[in-house]
Structure 1
């Protein structure tokens, strides 16, 4: 299971490179850098957006989504009214949950780390949404309330 709280993007990129079996010379050519620079990126906890975009294209994987999932889980929308609601920037729906997020949430409940009520409160997931996930993805009746 992916840890969305503590992200080490270099490790995740290296894991994806291994999964794809991609040759280092192809990576160096695409990224326009040396093997040593690639290794430094694998060791980096974070990368700049341009480098991450290039990795996403090369490895055909949206590494930005990892950060989006972090925001969904650990930076739920504030109930307070914000002064900067209006923006010319694109607006995105906050409640787009990937299967990984759903599995993560359900695992918290199944393992007893959190109750359903704690999940609803901590992550601001609507009660009906959570119960739909439980019904659809987990056919277990021993989940805590």
Structure 2
């Protein structure tokens, strides 16, 4: 998939196919819904994304947050002219996931010319918050590097 052609009309199945052989895919992160300023995803708890003892690894929460926020920013800019670079990820883990799925909703809270800030709430299947992740993406012109 050519991510420069990414749009809100891109089927999530196509996006998930394109990311399946990346870190995102190996952790089991799936995109479930895309719309302007909001991205949703899920992660099934497995041995690949848990820490010893079977609890979801906090790093998997951060990876899911950065993935959804990065995709959201990519959808908001012209990827032929700009790159989206994650420059800060901060997470507060408020609970644990011992079974089932982690469900994430990323919402943009600042859409500037050079930065986007996203908040990603990750909950268990009962809706209890397990992690809140803040992501800052830098928007750079492709010829800036």
Please give the TM-score of this superposition, normalised by the length of structure 2.
0.29
Structure ranking higher in strand proportion: 2
* TM-score, normalising length: structure 1: 0.29
> Bigger radius of gyration, 1 or 2?
1
